[in-house]
Amino acid sequence: MLSANIQAGSSTRAYSDYVTRSWSHVLPNGKRINLDALAKMASNYDVVGLQESDPGSLRSGFTNQADYLAEQAQFPFWSHQPNRRISRIAGSGNALLSREEPTEMLDYALPGRIAGRGVLLAKYGKGKKAWTLAITHLSLGVKSRQLQLGFLADLLSDAPRLVLMGDFNCDFDAPEMRALYRETSLEPPPERVCTFPSWAPQRCLDHVLVGGFEVLDYKAVPAAGSDHMAVGVELRQK
């Protein structure tokens, strides 16, 4: 599995790029190269969760980036949850690329002071082999994250085999994360992997939380120019 905040295909390799390359937040130039590199990386995985994937606006050349990545990496199944749109200039959301067809797809808006955050839910298998995947991108503010994590804890409380991945905008042991570990089968990652900024990772913001699986490998992976490293995970059924 792979979880990646793809920054809508933009390249950021230093803090100064947020200013000098600010045009990339409204124009599509250069993104196709990054998306092709992301597709090559994603092709090594069975399940990929994306954050900050543009559903089709000026900055993506009016291309649904999840659709493009699924086609380039030959994923037969994909889904996209658009959460935030700024006119026709930019859009952002969560997305799933999958080798296996989910038995059910759901999406929910997350609570918070500012609208525009959500969770994309995929259910796989039946009976004892059933498991749930959730992909999310939480808010920057602590109070909003507390609301969102409480919502997720309630939503996912009945899933014995579960994976929650995404950009949490906080460390896995932040106080607001405790509700997840207390009320669901999810456990903290086996090690602290820092993912931001991608050129000199110092903050651990991106996680893959697992319940009911054995984690065989857990590592940060460069995400083709994004300001976040991706997280790659290998799991085995218990």
Say what percent of the chain tops pLDDT 70: 93
For residue 215 the two structure tokens come to 């984690």
Between 2-6, 7-11, 28-32, 125-129, the lowest mean confidence (pLDDT) is in 28-32
**Residues 144 and 114 sit within 8 Å (Cβ to Cβ):** yes
User: What are residue 50's DSSP bridge partners?
Assistant: 4, 95
User: What are residue 102's DSSP bridge partners?
Assistant: none
β pairing state of 131-137 and 118-124? antiparallel
Query: Which tens digits make up the pLDDT trace of 199-231?
Result: 999 999 999 999 999 999 999 999 988 999 999
Query: Which tens digits make up the pLDDT trace of 107-123?
Result: 999 998 888 899 999 99
**Residues 152 and 124 sit within 8 Å (Cβ to Cβ):** no
CA 237 remoteness from chain centre: 22
Query: Given 3-state DSSP classes, what are the helix, strand and coil percentages for the chain, each rounded to the nearest 5?
Result: 25, 35, 40
The length of the chain in residues reads 238
Give the single-character DSSP code of 78. E
Q: How far apart are CA 73 and CA 173, in angstroms?
A: 34
pLDDT for 159 equals: 92
Q: Model's pTM, two decimal places? A: 0.94
pLDDT for 187 equals: 96
**Residues 4 and 166 sit within 8 Å (Cβ to Cβ):** no
pLDDT of residue 52 exceeding 70: yes
pLDDT of residue 1 exceeding 90: yes
Query: Which tens digits make up the pLDDT trace of 64-99?
Result: 999 999 999 999 999 999 887 766 777 889 999 999
Q: Taking the chain, what is the end-to-end CA distance rounded to the nearest angstrom?
A: 16
**Residues 166 and 49 sit within 8 Å (Cβ to Cβ):** yes
Query: Which tens digits make up the pLDDT trace of 120-174?
Result: 999 999 988 899 999 999 999 999 999 999 999 999 999 999 999 999 999 999 9
pLDDT for 95 equals: 97
Q: How far apart are CA 49 and CA 188, in angstroms?
A: 18
Q: How far apart are CA 234 and CA 47, in angstroms?
A: 10
pLDDT of residue 9 exceeding 80: yes
pLDDT for 65 equals: 92
